[in-house]
Chains A and B, each alone.
Chain A
Amino acid sequence: MTIERIGDHILWKRQPPAVVAARFAGWLVLVAATLWCFEIMTRDTIWSFVLDAPRQGADLVGRMVPPRWGYIQELWWPMWETLNIATLGTMIAIVMALPVAFCAARNTTPSVLFVRPIALFIIVSSRSINSLIWALLLVSILGPGSFAGIIAIGLRSIGFLAKLIYEAIEEIDASQVEAITATGASGAQTLVYGIWPQILPAFAGVCVFRWDINIRESTVLGLVGAGGIGLNLQASLNVLAWPQVTLIFIVILATVVLSEWVSARVRHAFI
């Protein structure tokens, strides 16, 4: 805030002019950068394709509708596989994320200097690489199939789970832990009595949240050969069987809605 006096009047401005100018410049830079990026990005775009999009879209819808309902018979098994990839992958991730989280949290890590940076590095690398990329790598190493999908989901989820859990650990009430320590409890007992009950709701919520995301992710892993309904999607796309693609989209939508409902219920139960 600045106040200026001109004769009898007091002029009030929210910010000094220099700050206003700096802000304006900042916005200008952002707009310019965006336009510049857009320019670079679309350098190789064939605009006739883009202009053709509405007609293409109408054409595509025409080919996608009606969905081929009979195809559902072939989707039951891939759906079961998709569910398994998400669930088993999440379980593996939970088991591995817990120790990482305790090593990464400032208040429980054995060593701030050595162990914590390693744990943080594990978290960042796992989070930076999408499960589809993990799947791409694992399929070329382990061969196609849902096994690669499970490991891919697991590896991607470790970082996510560990990050959210370690943040929850850092937010716990230290006095409750102090009280347990004061009874002469051992380190492991302090963990179970003082820390674990405090992070349990956050832990359950985070796990179910990630499971929900993993259901979504596991639907596309098949595109790179890692099992699940994505395999059927890839096969249908390859032969341009659009009515089957529509049905697959509908099935995925239904599964996602269902998993969201389940995760909301479970999170509610743990508060």
Chain B
Amino acid sequence: MLRLEGLSKRYKTGDLALQNVDLRVPAGQVMALIGPSGAGKSTLIRCINRLVEPTAGRVVLGDTEITALSRNELRRARRRMGMIFQEYALVERLTVMENVLSGQLGHVGFWASYFRRFPQAAVDEAFSTLDRVGLSEHVDKRADALSGGQRQRVGIARAMLQRPEILLIDEPTASLDPKTSRQIMRLICDLCAERGLAAVINIHDVQLAQLFVQRVVGLQDGKIVFDGPPGDLTSEVLTQIYGEEDWTATVRRKRKAVDPDDEDPVLDEERLAGNV
């Protein structure tokens, strides 16, 4: 589905953010990308849709080689990749509906979008998506009037309206409180399951990642140092990714969530939401 081959990025400042990264994400797989700040997580995700131009290597989505596309072809390819951002990145002075419909911009012409004349099918889809993420009450509110969790839901709805094949998600929960973070993660994972979407999620919160994803990739200094199921994340692995620290709490909590006999997982989730 998504294939990265020998992807490297060196910024103009000389910083080598990615070094020869190889990665495959099969269709429908939700994958978490963990690693310390500055490991290159954001760069990796932005190299996939070329918001950041990679210096070397190939990005292949399905059978399209993204890195070989011209500007116009890239525009068309970007429609297939929905993106969700850390600080929501909503256009704050537009309404919720306008923000959601902006996910359709790649599909409509300039003047239609200028006069907000979107095809009725897109409007229908926008309404139903807003309903799905629980925001149908707030259609005509301005985005800056919403709370953080609501804004992220708008961001998710915008990405969904692109009818993407893959989601690129950059720190979706970093600006949210623990409870909302979990609701947002669950919403993202449920939507991926419903629509068979693959997803690459950059995430700081290792415990949260372990609760929801099928695969974890650890990035350190621009290189992949771990790739496996969340259950394989041990103290040693975390030390390798993040550095020396007491990881026992993180490792233990993960076991609880994974092992159904240990405790009622729902109860555990609720407790986590209150505690973390």
Direct contact of A and B (CB under 8 A): yes
Task: State whether A183 touches B106 (Cβ < 8 A).
Answer: yes
Closest to A188 in B: B110
Which of B30-38, B80-88, B176-184, B263-271 makes up part of the contact surface? B80-88
In the assembled complex, the Cα of A80 lies from the Cα of B114 at a distance in Å of 36
Task: State whether A193 touches B81 (Cβ < 8 A).
Answer: no
Task: State whether B114 touches A182 (Cβ < 8 A).
Answer: no
If over half of A's interface residues share one DSSP class (helix, strand or loop), that class is named, otherwise mixed; here it is: helix
Interface string of B50-86 (1 = CB under 8 A from A): 0100000000000000000000000111110111010
Interface string of A161-190 (1 = CB under 8 A from B): 000000000000101101111111110110
- B51, B91, B113 pick with most chain A CB within 10 angstroms: B91
Q: Is B93 an interface residue (CB 8 A)?
A: yes
Assuming the contacts A189-B105, A193-B102, asked whether A182 and B93 have C-beta atoms less than 8 A apart, the reply is no
Task: State whether A185 touches B106 (Cβ < 8 A).
Answer: yes
Q: Is B49 an interface residue (CB 8 A)?
A: yes
Task: Give chain A's interface residue range (CB within 8 Å of chain B).
Answer: 20 to 34
Q: Is B232 an interface residue (CB 8 A)?
A: no
Per a CB cutoff under 8 Å, which of B78, B87, B94 touches A183?
A: B78
Q: Cβ of A181: which chain B residues have Cβ within 8 Å of it?
A: 51, 78
Q: Cβ of B90: which chain A residues have Cβ within 8 Å of it?
A: 176, 179
- A175, A179, A189, A201 pick with most chain B CB within 10 angstroms: A179
A-B contact count (CB 8 A): 80
In the assembled complex, the Cα of A185 lies from the Cα of B106 at a distance in Å of 5
Q: Is B103 an interface residue (CB 8 A)?
A: yes
Q: Is B89 an interface residue (CB 8 A)?
A: yes
Q: Is A198 an interface residue (CB 8 A)?
A: yes
Task: State whether A185 touches B87 (Cβ < 8 A).
Answer: no
Q: Cβ of A189: which chain B residues have Cβ within 8 Å of it?
A: 105, 110, 113
Per a CB cutoff under 8 Å, which of B78, B87, B94, B110 touches A182?
A: B78
Task: State whether A198 touches B106 (Cβ < 8 A).
Answer: no
Q: Cβ of A62: which chain B residues have Cβ within 8 Å of it?
A: none
Task: State whether A184 touches B105 (Cβ < 8 A).
Answer: yes
Q: Cβ of B104: which chain A residues have Cβ within 8 Å of it?
A: 183
Q: Is A222 an interface residue (CB 8 A)?
A: no
Interface string of B98-125 (1 = CB under 8 A from A): 1000111110001001100000000000
Q: Is A241 an interface residue (CB 8 A)?
A: no
In the assembled complex, the Cα of A200 lies from the Cα of B106 at a distance in Å of 23
Per a CB cutoff under 8 Å, which of A175, A180, A184, A192 touches B87?
A: A175
Q: How many B residues, CB 8 Å from partner? A: 31
Per a CB cutoff under 8 Å, which of B77, B89, B102 touches A178?
A: B89
Interface positions, chain A 42-74, Cβ under 8 Å from B, are: none
Q: Is B158 an interface residue (CB 8 A)?
A: yes
Per a CB cutoff under 8 Å, which of A185, A186, A193 touches B94?
A: A193
Q: Cβ of B92: which chain A residues have Cβ within 8 Å of it?
A: 173, 176, 197-198
Q: Cβ of A186: which chain B residues have Cβ within 8 Å of it?
A: 75, 105, 110
Q: Is B162 an interface residue (CB 8 A)?
A: yes
Task: State whether B79 touches A179 (Cβ < 8 A).
Answer: no
Q: Cβ of B78: which chain A residues have Cβ within 8 Å of it?
A: 181-184
Closest to B107 in A: A184
Task: State whether B102 touches A183 (Cβ < 8 A).
Answer: yes
In the assembled complex, the Cα of A189 lies from the Cα of B113 at a distance in Å of 7
Q: Cβ of A173: which chain B residues have Cβ within 8 Å of it?
A: 89, 92
Per a CB cutoff under 8 Å, which of A184, A188, A193, A201 touches B91?
A: A193
Q: Cβ of B91: which chain A residues have Cβ within 8 Å of it?
A: 176, 179-180, 193-194, 197-198
Closest to A185 in B: B105
In the assembled complex, the Cα of A175 lies from the Cα of B105 at a distance in Å of 17
In the assembled complex, the Cα of A194 lies from the Cα of B92 at a distance in Å of 9
Task: State whether B85 touches A179 (Cβ < 8 A).
Answer: yes
Q: Cβ of B76: which chain A residues have Cβ within 8 Å of it?
A: 184
Interface string of B118-142 (1 = CB under 8 A from A): 0000000000000000000000000
Task: State whether B51 touches A184 (Cβ < 8 A).
Answer: no
Q: Knowing that A184-B162, A185-B105, A186-B75 are A-B contacts, what are 20 other residue pairs whose CB atoms are under 8 Å apart, sorted by A's residue number?
A: A175-B85, A175-B87, A176-B90, A176-B91, A176-B92, A179-B90, A179-B91, A179-B158, A181-B51, A182-B49, A182-B168, A183-B82, A183-B105, A183-B162, A192-B114, A193-B94, A193-B102, A193-B105, A197-B94, A198-B92
Residues of B that sit less than 8 Å from A by CB = 49, 51, 75-79, 81-83, 85, 87, 89-94, 98, 102-106, 110, 113-114, 155, 158, 162, 168
Task: Pull 22 A–B residue pairs with CB atoms less than 8 Å apart, ordered by A.
Answer: A173-B92, A175-B85, A176-B91, A178-B89, A179-B89, A179-B91, A180-B91, A182-B51, A183-B78, A183-B158, A184-B75, A184-B106, A185-B75, A185-B106, A188-B110, A189-B110, A192-B110, A193-B105, A193-B113, A194-B91, A197-B93, A198-B92
